Amino acid sequence: MSVTTWFGLLAICCLGAMSPGPSLAMVVRHTLAGGRDKGIICAWAHSIGIGFYALVTLLGLAVVLKKAPIVFDGIAITGALYLAWMGVQALRSKGGMSEKLTAGEVTSGLVAARDGIAISLFNPKIMLFFLALFSQFVMVAETLVGQSLIVLTPLIVDGLWYTLIALMLSHPLVLPKLRAKAALIDKLSGVVLILLAIRVFVTV
């Protein structure tokens, strides 16, 4: 893989990571509910899911899944149900971020990691992103180094981007103001998750 090709891969990974959506909402929620550490845990757990899809694409399994509609749709529907469940939990006051803050509770690292990896693995949009854009890079990744870059570049870019988000949101001048809006952020993230779930159901 040439340097020019890698820069193209890097640019696509940056654009994909920076695109706002449910992943951003999840990192925001865990940063506000658990602080900087939980936000960073959520960020890197999410990036592991991204790296998994990059590996799946590299191995050609994504194309196989796409050609097996029942399997692909099953994964999509399972993911949509999970996203909808997380959305409903965010909308409800019980168990929501705002109630945890009021009660003085902190989100655990395990929950942050679970939600981070789930939001990437159960989002069919991410699989389609890799199918549509990564095939050109897989074709030229003939060496072990090139193949490693195919997997590590999106994983590291995603992890670094959401780590930056967590660091910015957890700044002492920012975090208290955002926590004051915790109930609103709960509602917004819940709506985003449910809308994504509905979109998946409609497009399956």
The pLDDT confidence band at residue 63, using thresholds 50, 70 and 90, is: low
The pLDDT confidence band at residue 61, using thresholds 50, 70 and 90, is: low
pLDDT at 65: 59
Q: Are 121 and 52 in contact (CB under 8 A)?
A: yes
Q: What is the distance of C-alpha 170 from the center of its chain?
A: 19
User: What is the total count of domains within the chain?
Assistant: 1
pTM score > 0.85 for this model? no
Q: How far apart are CA 57 and CA 162, in angstroms?
A: 22
**175, amino acid identity:** L
pLDDT tens digit sequence for 3-57: 888 888 888 888 778 876 778 888 888 888 778 888 999 999 999 999 988 888 7
Beta-carbon count within 10 A of 20 CB: 8
Mean pLDDT of the chain: 78
pLDDT tens digit sequence for 102-140: 444 566 788 889 888 988 887 767 777 776 666 667 767
Domain range for 84 = 3-203
Q: Is the pLDDT of residue 151 over 90?
A: no
Q: Are 86 and 193 in contact (CB under 8 A)?
A: yes
Q: Looking at the chain, how many residues does it have? A: 204
| Closest to 125 (Cα-Cα) out of 163, 74, 182, 79 | 79
Share of the chain above pLDDT 70, in %: 77
